[in-house]
Amino acid sequence: MQTISGKIREETVPLLQKLPSVKESNRGDLQDEDLGKKVWIESQKLWHIVGPAIFSRVSSFSMNVITQAFAGHLGDLELASISIANNVIVGFNFGLLLGMASALETLCGQAFGAKKYRMLGIYMQRSWIVLLLCSVLLLPMYLFASPILKWMGQPEDVAEQSGMVALWLIPLHFSFAFQFPLQRFLQCQLKTGVIAWVSLVGLIVHIFMSWVFVYGLKLGLVGTAITLNFSWWVLVFGLLAYTVCGGCPVTWTGFSTEAFFGLWEFLKLSTASGVMLCLENWYYRIIILMTGNLKNAKIAVDALSICMTINGWEMMIPLAFFAATGVRVANELGAGNGKGAKFATTVSVVTSTILGLIFGVLIMVFHDKFAIIFTTSDVVNTAVDKLSVLLFFTILFNSVQPVLSGVAVGSGWQSFVAYINLGCYYLIGIPFGYFLGWIFNFGVEGIWIGMISGTGVQTLVLAIIIIRCDWENEARKTTSQVEKWEKVDGGDSENQITAS
């Protein structure tokens, strides 16, 4: 290891080495450039994150689909067990830990923009500590999964077997505490290519190991759980090896005791991020639970599940924009460039909305055909056809709302947005859906309209806040906050960097 003193020259930091560079004085120069060129440069920066993010999310989604496919060939009970364990027990913890890790998009993104490079590694280590402690606190959900699922009304045999699967998925649970911070640490540096490559390796390993454990070693349902554990830890070790073995010489300076300082402030921001995203993650899951309590709900639940699956696949794109927008806004604010943050927000919202419209139009064009992918039942196909208009508006809103949430994460507004989500989703959307579904007897359509209304109000509120935002003031506040954190953590990170 060699200590490098003095200011690190800009060219030593591999930020945008494969992208057209924007002058350091972009605060003023961007105004003089052609608008089309500005949009092109910003779009390249955006897609440098969005493309690999989409691929990595689709790969992770595919791992679960493959696991469920292998379990489904074992039997209906096995399919139900792995699905319940994955969607209820693992899904709850996944959403919470993923949300808590999003605090790094704020801190690492802003520190990177401010050129406080050493702090990225410190922040990631703090996130490991906080998420690992939270993982231990959440462990009883896995240990007592069977009684929890019975209390939720699941059949006895499904609850028992799902509880057994949950115990085998404990290693998967702890992998989240390391993988999510690693992903955000790399994303904030625009080192997204390695995330995509590691995700591809993980997917290939998952397919191969699924066959080995389920059919080769005849481990059955337990084999599907072991495969998930194995594949997700491949992702962890792949990203970790890249980070500590020279892939991030400027931002990773080794393990440090500084990671144990400032944990309380870090925990508060992580908790706010977790609550903010969990309120969104759970929202559309509730619609299925509400629909299941309607009279003669089987066809409605089948149709709704198909629509939610289509929506889930398409959501991989807006979620990638969520991550990319958070990084871009945080980078610009950290650099003290409020106008750049505003411009990045505009380009991201417009791009994601256009893609949402394209997918929405495809839904309307094939409104009476896309359900054939999942079912041969004419009754279910007709029910899905009736819901296609609602699916269109859901996709449209979901192409905007995650991007606005990404702006909030990049700006550090998580606590404030958590209250907005709580009010719009749970005080407006769900009650309105209940009244339309049960009181006015609109059934599943009424429930869904209520949920869309909550999302629409939330999107409108966030849009108004962002439009009225004083971005130059946000940039000044961010610069002051980064300097404050640096003083707390001890020293000038630009003048004390250790490289390999």
Helix (H/G/I), strand (E/B), else coil: 327: helix
pLDDT of 313 reads 76
Separation of alpha carbons 24 and 28, rounded Å: 10
| Residue 486 vs residue 327, higher pLDDT | 327
Q: Render pLDDT for 6-57 as a digit per residue (tens, 0 to 9).
A: 333 333 333 333 444 434 444 444 444 588 888 888 888 889 888 888 888 8
Structure confidence at residue 237 (pLDDT) = 95
pLDDT band at 315, cuts 50/70/90? confident
User: Exposed, middle or buried: residue 412 (CB in 10 Å: 0-12, 13-18, 19+)?
Assistant: buried
Task: Please answer whether residues 486 and 122 qualify as being in contact, where contact means their C-beta atoms are separated by less than 8 angstroms.
Answer: no
Residue 499: φ, ψ to 5°: -125, 160
* Mean pLDDT (whole number) for 130-148: 91
Q: According to the model, what pLDDT value does residue 10 have?
A: 36
Distances (CA, A) of 118 to 212, 255, 260, 348, 424: 42, 11, 15, 28, 39
Average pLDDT over residues 312-330: 85
The residue with tokens 């959307």 is 429
Per-domain residue ranges of the chain: 47-260, 272-491
Amino acid of residue 337: N
Cβ 391 vs Cβ 363: under 8 Å: yes
Confidence of residue 200 (pLDDT cuts 50, 70, 90): very high
* Nearest residue to 425 (alpha-carbon basis) of 394, 455, 403: 455
Q: Is the pLDDT confidence value at 119 over 50?
A: yes
At 294, the pLDDT band (50, 70, 90 cuts) reads: low
Q: How confident is the model at residue 97 (pLDDT cuts 50, 70, 90)?
A: confident
Most confident of 201-210, 292-301, 307-316: 201-210
Amino acid at 13: V
Q: What is the pLDDT of residue 20?
A: 43
What percent of the chain is modeled with pLDDT above 70? 85
Highest mean pLDDT among 22-26, 68-72, 178-182, 395-399: 178-182
Contact between 326 and 190 (Cβ < 8 Å)? no
Tokens at 406, concatenated: 């990404």
Hey, what are 305's tokens?
Answer: 């599940």
Contact call for residues 168 and 85 (beta carbons, < 8 A): no
Dihedrals φ, ψ of 360, to 5°?
-65, -40
Q: Tens digit of pLDDT for each residue in 274-283? A: 777 777 777 7
CA distance 343 to 471: 10
The answer to whether residue 203 scores a pLDDT higher than 60 is yes
Which of 363-377, 415-429, 449-463 comes out lowest in average pLDDT? 363-377
- For the residues 292-314, what does the mean pLDDT come to? 70
Judge contact between 497 and 12, C-beta under 8 A. Answer: no
3-state secondary structure (DSSP) of residue 315? helix
Confidence at residue 484, expressed as pLDDT on a 0 to 100 scale: 62
Which among 125, 121, 120, 122 has a CA at the least distance from the CA of 108? 120
- pLDDT bracket for residue 494 (50, 70, 90): very low
Mean pLDDT within 106-131: 87
Q: What does the DSSP assignment read for 50-62? A: HHHHHHHHHHHHH
User: Residue length, the chain?
Assistant: 500
In angstroms, the CA 87 to CA 110 distance is 33
φ and ψ of 2, to 5 deg = -130, 135
Closest by alpha carbon to 193, among 149, 132, 242?
A: 242
- The reported pLDDT for the residue numbered 457 is 93
Tens digit of each residue's pLDDT (9 = 90 or more) over 437-464: 888 888 888 888 988 899 899 999 999 9
Using one digit for the tens of pLDDT, what is the confidence trace for 243-263?
999 888 989 988 888 888 878
